[in-house]
Amino acid sequence: MGLGVDKTTVRRSLRDVLLEVATAAETIQVLSTVGLSLLPANSDMTEAEIKLRDLPAGDIRAEDRTATVADDYDYMLLDCPPALSKLTVNALVARTAC
């Protein structure tokens, strides 16, 4: 929201990427006015949190699903909730070759 993206209008989000409904490349929004790209998230992340518990390699999904776009970026910043959840674990263990 701080970048001017209305989370209520997001069509695809990180939830879709983590649950293999969409690819990271399809989901990333280029924000040319601020000079960066965003893989948005919204309240749908609650569903991802629940489903990640039962998925194989649920702790490393973010890394696996963003690896296809990692070479396109110098840095990837992962913002996560202030809790030790599956989503936070995914962010903590994600590493890229950027």
For residue 61, is it left (φ>0), alpha (ψ between -120 and 50) or beta? alpha
Looking at residue 91, what is its pLDDT? 82
**Counting every residue, how long is the chain?**
98
Mean pLDDT of 2-23: 89
Instruction: Check pLDDT > 60 for residue 64.
Output: yes
pLDDT digit string, tens, across residues 15-45: 999 999 999 999 999 999 999 999 998 888 8
DSSP string, 69-96: TGGG-S-------SS-SHHHHHHHH---
pLDDT band of 75, cuts 50, 70, 90 = confident
